[in-house]
Amino acid sequence: MKDLLHQLKIGSVTLDNNILLAPMAGVTDLPFRLLCREQEAGLVCMEMVSAKAILYKNKNTESLLTIHPQEGPVSLQLFGSDPKILSEMARQIEERPFSILDINMGCPGAQGGGQRRRIGADETAEAGGGDSDGRGESREEAGHRQDTKRI
């Protein structure tokens, strides 16, 4: 097992190892992330945070944004479909102690009929399109609906 572990570098962040905790809604809260860091996870990811929830000062969002000094490095995943709101909320939270900010503008998969555009790592948050699934609604408006197809 030790042969599989190695340092990992993501941008300017160097992780002690390559064991990463993925963001999972309802699972990766602060106590769980602290447990994973105690078990030597190289990076812990917070639950997805809605840019609109920050904008509208949703009362539950502040607890999702809480980072404990002992849990770093931490990745925060900010999601939304409006590039202007995303970029403004990213600026608003930039002083928080996360190491990596992961911007999620929706799945680029071919489940709808709308146009899609992948955002390159070197492009700004102001670039990119509107709705993420081609249905004319944001992820928040869709209520995090997941489409299922039966074969």
The single residue of 63, 107, 108, 117 carrying the catalytic annotation is: 107
Q: Identify which of 58, 48, 128 has the alpha carbon closest to the alpha carbon of residue 87.
A: 128
| Six token digits for residue 53 | 């929830």
36 catalytic per annotation: no
Give me the active site residues, please. Answer: 107
